[in-house]
Copies of this chain bind each other. A is one copy, B any other.
Amino acid sequence: MKQDFQQILRGLNLKSTPKRVVLLEVLDDESVYLSPEDIWNRMKKRFRRLGLPTVYRNLEELYAGGVISRVIHPNRQLYYYLCRNEEHHHHFICVSCRRVVDVSFCAEKELQDVVREGIQGKVLSHILQINGLCRHCLQKDGAVHAY
């Protein structure tokens, strides 16, 4: 586990520091999306001193390295971070409880076709994110948290 994280960090040519390992642990523990500050707060329980810039720096590096993934807030220009990112997939995010569920559906091929044929352009990346209410929040209807 911890071993695992060390290997991941080595793989990115990043030193295996306690803070990086804990950052990965924090993300791995959660099934909801977390803001940089959320992550900072959780990590601070484990370190006497921890700067927010450290969190930002590491999120950036780990995201760039493809180890973690992120979603964009449904109606604010903010990123939220998620646990590990295995292979290409998209996310259903519950706008009420922040839960994230991986979605295997991906229209990549169709998008490629549409762009190649209709626009004669080339796809570099795509964002597909589904915002909605998860099963649990649907049941306690009305009790939907603001987001």
Contacts and interface: CB of A to CB of B under 8 A. Distances in A.
B121 A95 contact: no
Q: Quick one: which of A77, A101, A110, A121 has the most chain B CB within 10 A?
A: A121
A129 interface: yes
A50 interface: no
A20 to B, nearest CB: 22
Contacts of A95: 124
Contacts of A79: 77
Nearest to A105: B114
Nearest to A129: B127
Contact of A94 (B101, B114, B121): B121
Nearest to A63: B75
Interface stretch (A10-18, A23-31, A40-48, A130-138): A130-138
A146 interface: no
Nearest to A114: B105
A126 interface: yes
A52 interface: no
